């Protein structure tokens, strides 16, 4: 009777029961995620290095910063640009 059913844990918060799926994984969509320099990121965006640095400092771009290194993928940068078509970005 219970075979094949997912096991759920229940988390109680403020008298509410919220079901949480066990071992739920989210597929990773960027296979080409690697380290890029500021010059390489600015080339992907088609803007200068100074403007790229400003965007990175404002945490506007889809990157992960580890120390001084920036990790991203060209696909993530392209999706960021597509998502912001027609917008004026202020930072």
* Between residues 13 and 68, the one the model is more confident about: 68
Find residue 34's DSSP bridge partners. 72
Is residue 56 predicted with pLDDT exceeding 80?
yes
DSSP of 16-49: EEEEEETT--PPP--TT-EEE-HHHHHHHHTS-H
Neighbours of 53 (CB within 10 A): 13
**Spatial CA neighbour of 19 closest among 29, 33, 5:** 5
At 26-39, the pLDDT tens digits run 455 667 889 999 99
pTM exceeds cut of 0.75: no
Residue 10 pLDDT > 70 = no
């Amino acid at each position: 009777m219970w075979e094949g059913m997912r096991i759920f844990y229940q988390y109680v918060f403020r008298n509410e029961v919220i079901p949480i799926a066990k071992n739920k994984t989210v597929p990773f969509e960027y296979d080409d995620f690697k380290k890029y320099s500021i010059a390489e990121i600015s080339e992907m965006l088609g803007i200068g290095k100074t403007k790229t640095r400003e965007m990175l400092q404002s945490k506007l771009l889809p990157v992960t910063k580890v120390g001084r290194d920036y990790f991203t993928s060209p696909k993530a940068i392209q999706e960021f640009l597509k998502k912001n078509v027609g917008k004026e970005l202020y930072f």
